[in-house]
Amino acid sequence: MKVEQIYTGCLAQGAYYIESGGEAVIIDPIRETEPYIEKLAREGVKLKYIFETHFHADFVSGHLDLAKKTGATIVFGPMAKTEYDIYSAKDQEELKVGKLTFKVLHTPGHTMESSVYLLKEESGKDHAIFSGDTLFLGDVGRPDLAIKQGAVTKEDLAGFLYNSLRKKIMPLADDVIVYPAHGAGSACGKNLSKDTWGYLGDQKKNNYALREDMTKEEFIKEVTSGLMPAPQYFAKNAIMNKFGYGSFDEVLSKGAVPLTPSEFEKLVESHEALMLDTRKPLKFAKAHIPNSISIGIDGGFAPWVGALITDIQQPIVIIAEEGRAEEVVTRLARVGYDNTLGFLNGGIEAWVANNRETDQVISISADKFADKLKSGKVETVLDVRKPTEFLSHHLEAGTNFPLDYINQNMHKLNRNDTYHIHCAGGYRSMIAASILKARGFQNIVDVAGGWKSIELTNAPKTDFTCPTGIVQEDIDKAFKAVI
């Protein structure tokens, strides 16, 4: 038996490869299939099944392309209805892979079709659960992503989840390994651990949602409170996973096309293409194409694209570091942004060499910012961190203006005012600065290093509040204030 976790950091997502007796199963694959195909070839095994734990909302699964290329059967649990061929397994049904057995445990709650796959060893002993978004380490899946008008409520789903966990998961032995679909950084839960696997016994002891003395009413209240609205692309990804999508190979072929500055500019004009600059934030600050948007490839790239670019069909052209354009196209496709039209060949250097206009974002050190603040030369400070980050510790002069909601809240700003912007470390603030500049806000100053650097200055700050000490009422008020 071979069990391998294939973790994708930018999505905080775990796919799984399990092999036995010349057969294999892959659970919750990401969009690009080539790594899986190559692995199967190296191991000399046949892919028998592709298990999907549910209709994913935070990424586009690779199940369709992988099934077409390998002939493997796509398996969902009960209640999954698709526009393509699947095997819909029954609750408690057992499926064989080599000498191993997988038992399907239907666990509605995160979504109605959510299912956990229990892996049994050749001896029959329970070995591990592939828990999808039903059970994370430190948390459980949020119950508000599968809500439709007039259908179940998040409270209904939370009630189903309570039953699923206590009837299907908690009776399993403490030494059963938990392999979740996500870890810290995913928006599919609110308290996910940085660990990517663990033991069920530890979760029974430490996971707030698995407390033995917790009533159903308490569970519903805890799992439905403090949830930030889901990123807008979640619903669109879930639809793609349910109804189908175009071939990733075709998306890559169309998107990884080198463009001269002239070709690049013509595509922007003729297709109203968004110019996406994926270089490091400080490189963007020094020189960028006017009206381009900065979302660096080395940060939380795909989730921020999904949160901020509201049209999933938006034509996109790319400015990237040398040799990274294909990576950008791939990571865009992972969250369903398939309409990439090419990349600027030679990058910003080619643009400058062609005598074309560039713009800048003023970026100052935290020390200089503190001095300006002390002398009264700062009009407005926009703290673009999440409300919970802002609540824990912020500048006395700071205004919470979360990047997550920048499109909804931009009307609250005045184009004639000067705004000093910071986040935690500089990544989100440059995204915010680029969006504001593209929308006509020219008086933007970025604070380099963000809160991590500001904390070390003498700028007046509020008292630090431990995140676990922030009461739910404060969180709810903060969310309402910024949405």
Tokens representing residue 183 in the block: 């870890």
Q: Is 189 helix (H, G, I), strand (E, B) or coil?
A: coil
Q: Which segments within 224-379 are labelled E, that is strand?
A: 258-259, 274-277, 293-294, 316-319, 340-344, 362-364
Task: Give the integer Cα–Cα distance in Å for 402 and 415.
Answer: 18
Residue entry with tokens 């910024």: 482
Cα–Cα–Cα angle for 133, 139, 143, rounded to 5 degrees: 55
> Hey, how many other C-beta atoms are within 10 angstroms of the C-beta on 91?
15
- Does residue 467 register a pLDDT over 80? no
Mean pLDDT of 80-94: 97
Read off the pLDDT band of 230 (50, 70, 90): confident
Task: Give the integer Cα–Cα distance in Å for 238 and 244.
Answer: 10
Strand partners, 2: 19
Residue 240 pLDDT: 97
Strand partners, 319: 277
- Determine the residue type at 310: T
pLDDT, tens only, 348-385: 999 999 999 999 999 999 999 999 999 999 999 999 99
Query: Worst-scoring range by mean pLDDT, 9-13, 114-118, 163-167, 463-467?
Result: 463-467
Question: How do beta strands 100-106 and 94-97 pair?
Answer: antiparallel
pLDDT, tens only, 36-54: 999 999 999 999 999 999 9
- Does residue 150 register a pLDDT over 60? no
- Determine the residue type at 312: I
Which residues lie closer than 8 Å to 162 by C-beta, 6 or more apart? 109, 216, 219, 220
Q: Is 160 helix (H, G, I), strand (E, B) or coil?
A: helix
Go through the domains of the chain in sequence order and give each one's CATH number.
Answer: 2-228 (3.60.15.10), 246-353 (3.40.250.10), 362-482 (3.40.250.10)
Mean pLDDT of 446-467: 92
Task: Please state at what angle helix 427-438 crosses helix 301-308, rounded to 10 degrees.
Answer: 30
Residue 465 pLDDT: 82
pLDDT, tens only, 15-33: 999 999 999 999 999 999 9
What is the DSSP secondary-structure string of 353-395? HTT---B--EEE-HHHHHHHHHTT---EEEE-S-HHHHHHS-B
Which residues lie closer than 8 Å to 349 by C-beta, 6 or more apart? none
Task: Give the integer Cα–Cα distance in Å for 234 and 78.
Answer: 22
Q: What predicted TM-score, i.e. pTM, was given to this entire model?
A: 0.93
Determine contact, residues 56/46, Cβ cutoff 8 Å.
no
